[in-house]
Structure 1
Amino acid sequence: MLLPIYGGSPMVWNTSMLFFQVALLLGYTYAHLSQRLLGARWQPLVHILLVVAPLLALPMSLPGWSVEGGSAPVALWLLLVLTAVVGAPFTVLSTIGPLIQRWYSWAGLPRSKDPYFLYAASNVGSMLALLAYPFVIEPAADLEAQARWWALGYRVFVVLVVACVLVIRFRTSRAPAETPAESETAAEAVAEKITWRRRMRWLGLAFIPSSLMLGATTHISTDIAPVPLMWVVPLALYLATFIIAFGSKKHRWLRYMVTIAAISAALIPWTLYIIGPDFIGILLALTLVLVAGLACHGLLAKDRPDPRRLTEFFLIVSLGGAFGGAFNTLVAPVVFNWTAEFPLVVTSLALLPILLRKSDAPTRWALPGLAVSVKVFVLAGPLVLLAATIVLRLDASSFIPAALLVGIPWCVLAIRRPRMMAIGVALSTALLLWFRMPTDSIRERTFFGNYHVYMDGSGRRMFGHGSTVHGFQFTGGPLRTTPVAYFGRSGPFGDLFAAYGEHSSRVAIVGLGTGVMAAYGHKGQTMDFYEIDPVVLKIASNWFSYLSDSQADVNAIIGDGRLELEKVPDGSYGMIVLDAFTSDSVPPHLLTYEALQLYMRKLAPGGVLAFNVTNRSLDLAPMLAATARAAGLVSMTGTGAEDPQKIYYHSRWVAIARKDADLRPLRAKSWRWHAPPAGGPVWTDAHSSLFGVLDLG
């Protein structure tokens, strides 16, 4: 529901996760305080009133003021919208996890003295529901139907809670009556004491996996698409670690997971930096979420307190998770100009072995000076390897053998010296942070993405967004004003502009980038660029000259392209170009049936829509063709090849018009254009599943 309003940014998901973590914290706080103040006899009855209240707000729908008007930070406004729409029902839902476990401990049922196994069962249900969404629910129902189903499901939940309350009342009514204060006093008399140091350890162990899960989510959704299918994978792994940790009676695997997590702290950040955001990098990030979650949540489960302290334990765990979400969503984008939070939190995994050992293991080496040499190697080994990588400029094929040669003996020696290993890992991460902050480049980070402007050594100023180069400009010579990258005159976009743009007095372009399309503008022509992020406009104006060099009258409109186009009179543009991608991620709300209908209203007779569908992970051409057919429109697909000098990139475009006659100028321009592929899904605002557009080849 929210993605069409907030531009399809992956940060919508991270901000939503922060909201749910804070709501979970509120629910756990209520669970902790209410069971302490009301006790077994009255707390379940009072809880029924709380569970029934959200029925008044269902089914859920967005209020009219959901669109942020520009006067507040986007993340804070989104949090406000979430609070209004799902705050009450979700906070009530979040209370049931710790409360059911506490009620079970009161009921005197089997395993009542250790009800933590119910927490594992709860997370099994969460993971099954999570996986069911993209594979079952989203393909089967639109958003309106999903809201109705959700309201029905909540009513079933209310019935089940009432049934649990009746069981608790029946079983506790046979116990001697006592006041809540007397019950709590008696429980405190026998409950174990919990130090603040132990509470801080719980907090940190909950913080680390939460932050890593969100970091991996950002990494994946930035380079593929900000849709539920991409979000559920890290979250499902995160939930799986809770299931395994709290479902195990014995944790024989814990020491191995802690060791692997600590070693990963030394290897993963630099490996991800060197090999880049390919499939192996994504797989490593997901593996790290699993390993770190098992290590941290395993340590939490092993250190779980007596059931009388259960609600306090889960309150602190939820607080740590909320801190992790706040760090990634609110703090990191302000403090860092790139995603530095991911390697920083990975580094903290090197501290986990210290929690298993009170001190470094004594050395067994007998030769004089060998123990000192080993410690020096543990401390400086990664630094020497990484320094050599920087100086020699090793690529992935050279770095991996060198890393194995140094890394294997380092791991063997380091695992017995956790303190030295932690220091060595911290130093190597500090080197990475220093290396990632060169003085000859510009980095910007906002709610909508991570931007990087730099020189490539051949006279070109590059503009990177996430892991994708969105464009560049030659800083001198005749090529300075030449359209390059995906927009060359001898490519599909050149054909499109020659057939339509040259004869249009007004052109709309959704997505600014470097502003390279302004190079096509001519005198008497107006080019309106719609850009959701003001920082992109600042970059295009200050570091690239396409906008200022253009002969056309160039306007920049800040805001989501679809929402801003709604305000334009119908028939205003002879050509509308859609190129608003975040790295390789696509904003689905710009590609739907409803969006095409809007664009067509704003398009003049005989005009054309042009979509840049170049993508490493998604094949969008069949989907756009099918969606166009459903809207009664026609389409064609054009492909351009990369030239040897890489002035022009490989690109793929889709042209959509009202009728076949409107596409004749394009068909006559070049052999590059052909009939679109068949068989794609139809995307609507209520249904835009990635199944059918994933390019697995």
Structure 2
Amino acid sequence: MAFIGASRGAAQGRSASALAARLGFRIGLVGLFSGTLLLAALLLFSLQPMFTKRVLPILGGTPAVWSVAMVVFQALLLAGYAYAHALTRWLQPRAALATHVLVLLAGVVFLPVGMAKGFGAPPAEGEALWLIGLFLASIGLPFFALSASAPLLQAWFARSGDARSADPYFLYRASNIGSFAALLAYPLLIEPLLGLDAQARLWSLGYAAMTCAVVACGLRLRNAAPVAAPVEAELTVEASPRRRLAWIGLSAVPSALLVAATAHISTDVAAIPLIWVVPLALYLVSFILAFRPAQPGPDRTGRLLSGLQIAGTGCAFAVVVFKQTPFLLDLGLTLGLLFVNALMAHRAVYALRPPAARLTEFYLCTSFGGMCGGIFAALVAPHLFSGVYEYPLLLAAALLCRPGVTAGGLPAVLREARRSAVPLIGAFLAALLALVARGPQLGIEVLMVCLVLTLAADWRSPARASLVGIAIGVACLALQAAVMAEGGNHRSFFGVHRVYTSPDGQFRLLVHGTTIHGAMRLRDDEGRASTGRPVPATYFAPGGPLSDVFEISRRVNGAIPAVSVVGLGAGSLACHARVGEAWTFYEIDPVVIRLAQDANTFHFLSECAPDARVVQGDARLTLSGRTEQARVLVVDAFSSDAIPIHLLTREALAIDFAHLDAQGLLAFHISNRDFSLSHVLARLAAERDLTLLQRLDPPRQPSVGFAHSPSEVVLMSRDPAVVREAKAMGWRAVTPDLSRRPWSDDYANALEAMRDRWRELLTSAR
């Protein structure tokens, strides 16, 4: 009996050990694959802002750099998914593992991450194609190798025999959590603490660890159970062309919205990782929330999202048309609507997912859709539209991604179209009458009111609400274009510039985003046409801080032999020139150059400085290539309200002072809503034993409209006579904070400058 009991106990012990071993294998397998996917995502989504930040200075800090970068990343992601699909279809797991490890090792040749050799200054035209080539040559292979990890490792896990292998889509959530963590960590931890070179070295270590983790996954897979019969049977399941098109379309719309929303925000704040990652993080969160099994019972979340989408879309259309919304409200609406639209579209994609055997094909189609959306928003739309008209069209297209629409398909939408025909026709007729009677503006208002009311009435019907939303989007596009045609939109790689006449008819304005870059008086207060030499207005008006810069130099050192200005705008500063002075403007945007040199549009240059030179290209590249020196250098290179960080570093300052003569003055126009830059420049001035002087010109009372705008300008000099003269004219010295880390090409902390602005606003409010 004792022997039997001992045998039974030993058997039970062996059974428990075997169970524990199997349980440990399963837990270990899930943990290993999840951890590897998370690490791959961390590397991918930290590489995006890290390398784009390195490239940004070459193209003048324009937000379009990130838009093009997104297209490159989506294209590489598509290539990686296609490669993963081929490996799982045509190679056995061991052969696929060996192939993928070789590809990962080939990516080591590109480490540490840096600019590819052979790429000098960008061309005057075709900047987007040049930038695509730079990205591919510099980081193409490492990014491609990492991008294949998500579908490839999920496909391997599906063949592992694990209890959860039948539905491996849960691993995609682990991948997106890693992506989200990288996007939060980069602007909040990595960028403030580490320079770009240190980031590149750390990233190389992570890439090596990722390669080892993939090998570990492959080795564990070798000992896994063979593929179960049901999974093999799934290989015979074919996805219909209609379903593939649904995967592509439902992925394209939120991807295009992501690019459009990011460009909008970057234009009015700054082209920096902090701004880039917020929309992308929300986009990834939508994947995390969408790619999970649906809960039984009524879909209350879907109904809530549907209501939010309808309400947000109506508000967004109004903002697009009327443009009278405070920036913070516009920002919240843009980001919130992006998240809601992305979540609804990705929920619809997840609902149409195929069995695990078709997993790589599914990811290939969704990646292709994402790339198509990015290409449309970043590359096609700027050439197709003179304004940012793609945004209302994308908002309308997002209404077609609602589950109620995708479930019924096109036939259901067409059936519902008849019920919405009468109110839509009535809305357009009312708008047409208003347009004929009072002009485009009233026509827009009447149409918007009618269509938004129709949208509110039909919001419970997904198909009808989508149709009304599309009608609103098309109406916004057509009528907004009609209004813009009164002045003129001019779009380039660097942004959209609008030329129009002020409502009172007194000024012609050049506007980029939310910022006026020049105003020329057409008529005086009595309505008489202005003649003769134009008088600079807005920030450039006589008596303002910028005009002081030239006056200080003349009082201290006499006549100014040469002046250089970074940033042309409408050419307003040219009217501060005097006879005998040689003026040179440095401007990166060819559209701005064309507008400023067209005497029929603005005649600051033609009337005030007809002999002034205009040099096209990024200021740092063009200034460093010049041998002649200037007495005064003014940096006024803001793009909308975005700060040009690459012009505010110690390397940029070295180029600036090499361009100045012994009595040279360096001035920066730093008027900005979101960042305080005087402390940044004071710290850089202290490194060179310079004094930084600041003049903050407050708003004047009573208001003088466009004739004068409040501005903030700083001036650097080590000449005691300049300091005394500037102080006598109302300038004050800024004490540098030596505890700050100076900005450089390797390090810049935009969060610090934003925090300074908030403190100033709070102090002034008290």
Q: Would you say same fold, with TM above 0.5?
A: yes
Residue pair 1:103, 1:168 contacting (<8 A) in 2 also? yes
- Quote the Cα distance in structure 2 between the aligned partners of 1:193 and 1:103: 20
Name the residue aligned to 2:715: 655
Paired residue type of 1:427: A
TM-score by length of 2: 0.83
Name the residue aligned to 1:95: 148
- Quote the Cα distance in structure 1 between the aligned partners of 2:610 and 2:311: 56
Q: Please state if 1:470 is matched with 2:517.
A: yes
Residue pair 1:382, 1:428 contacting (<8 A) in 2 also? no
- Quote the Cα distance in structure 2 between the aligned partners of 1:506 and 1:284: 47
- Quote the Cα distance in structure 2 between the aligned partners of 1:305 and 1:189: 10
Alignment equivalent of 2:499, drawn from 448, 453, 456: 453
- CA change 1:130–1:489 in 2 (3 A) is same
Paired residue type of 1:651: S
Residue pair 2:58, 2:122 contacting (<8 A) in 1 also? no
Paired residue type of 1:674: R
Could you tell me the percent identity over the aligned residues? 34
SS at match of 1:125: helix
Matches within 5 A, 1:598-677: 598-643=655-700, 644-646=703-705, 647-668=707-728, 670-671=729-730, 673-676=731-734
Residue pair 1:378, 1:413 contacting (<8 A) in 2 also? no
Name the residue aligned to 1:523: 579
- Quote the Cα distance in structure 2 between the aligned partners of 1:423 and 1:175: 47
Name the residue aligned to 2:475: 431
Q: Please state if 1:234 is matched with 2:293.
A: no
Name the residue aligned to 2:651: 594
Matches within 5 A, 1:153-552: 153-172=206-225, 187=232, 190-250=235-295, 252=299, 253-262=301-310, 264-274=312-322, 275-276=324-325, 278-352=327-401, 353-357=404-408, 376-377=422-423, 380=426, 407=452, 410-411=454-455, 413-437=457-481, 438=483, 439-457=485-503, 458-475=505-522, 476-477=529-530, 481-500=534-553, 503-542=559-598, 543-551=601-609
- Between 1:523-532 and 1:275-284, the stretch displaced more is 275-284
Residue pair 2:159, 2:227 contacting (<8 A) in 1 also? no
- CA change 1:214–1:406 in 2 (3 A) is closer
State the Cα distance separating 1:410 from its structure 2 match.
4.0
- Quote the Cα distance in structure 2 between the aligned partners of 1:653 and 1:683: 19
- Quote the Cα distance in structure 2 between the aligned partners of 1:244 and 1:392: 48
Paired residue type of 1:243: I
- Quote the Cα distance in structure 2 between the aligned partners of 1:394 and 1:278: 25
- CA change 1:677–1:618 in 2 (3 A) is farther
Residue pair 1:386, 1:428 contacting (<8 A) in 2 also? no
State the Cα distance separating 1:633 from its structure 2 match.
1.9
- Quote the Cα distance in structure 2 between the aligned partners of 1:386 and 1:524: 57
- Quote the Cα distance in structure 1 between the aligned partners of 2:413 and 2:493: 45
Paired residue type of 2:69: S
Residue pair 1:521, 1:552 contacting (<8 A) in 2 also? no
Name the residue aligned to 1:148: 201
SS at match of 1:642: coil
- CA change 1:664–1:89 in 2 (3 A) is same
SS at match of 2:509: strand
**More helix per residue: 1 or 2?**
2
Paired residue type of 1:555: R
State the Cα distance separating 1:215 from its structure 2 match.
0.7
Name the residue aligned to 2:625: 567
State the Cα distance separating 1:405 from its structure 2 match.
10
Name the residue aligned to 1:33: 86
- Between 1:155-164 and 1:428-437, the stretch displaced more is 428-437
Q: Please state if 1:51 is matched with 2:104.
A: yes
Residue pair 1:375, 1:420 contacting (<8 A) in 2 also? no
State the Cα distance separating 1:676 from its structure 2 match.
1.9
Q: Please state if 1:686 is matched with 2:746.
A: yes
Paired residue type of 1:192: V
Deviation per CA, 1:350-393: give whole Å up to 9, x if none. Answer: 22332134676999xxxxxxx99986347755986899799889
Residue pair 2:317, 2:472 contacting (<8 A) in 1 also? no
- CA change 1:406–1:465 in 2 (3 A) is closer
- Between 1:102-111 and 1:423-432, the stretch displaced more is 423-432
Q: How many aligned residue pairs are there?
A: 677
- Quote the Cα distance in structure 1 between the aligned partners of 2:76 and 2:164: 29
Residue pair 1:262, 1:351 contacting (<8 A) in 2 also? no
SS at match of 1:486: helix
SS at match of 2:242: helix
Name the residue aligned to 2:21: none
- Quote the Cα distance in structure 1 between the aligned partners of 2:333 and 2:532: 40
Deviation per CA, 1:667-689: give whole Å up to 9, x if none. Answer: 23x12x11226546521111112
- Between 1:276-285 and 1:331-340, the stretch displaced more is 276-285
TM-score by length of 1: 0.91
SS at match of 1:691: helix
- Quote the Cα distance in structure 2 between the aligned partners of 1:541 and 1:95: 50
- CA change 1:248–1:665 in 2 (3 A) is farther
- Quote the Cα distance in structure 1 between the aligned partners of 2:510 and 2:530: 19
State the Cα distance separating 1:261 from its structure 2 match.
2.8
- Quote the Cα distance in structure 1 between the aligned partners of 2:440 and 2:677: 36
SS at match of 2:134: helix
SS at match of 2:223: helix
- Quote the Cα distance in structure 1 between the aligned partners of 2:715 and 2:239: 66
SS at match of 2:715: strand
- CA change 1:384–1:101 in 2 (3 A) is farther
State the Cα distance separating 1:66 from its structure 2 match.
2.5
Q: Please state if 1:23 is matched with 2:80.
A: no
- Quote the Cα distance in structure 2 between the aligned partners of 1:189 and 1:85: 40
State the Cα distance separating 1:150 from its structure 2 match.
0.7
Paired residue type of 2:694: T
State the Cα distance separating 1:630 from its structure 2 match.
2.5
Paired residue type of 2:575: A
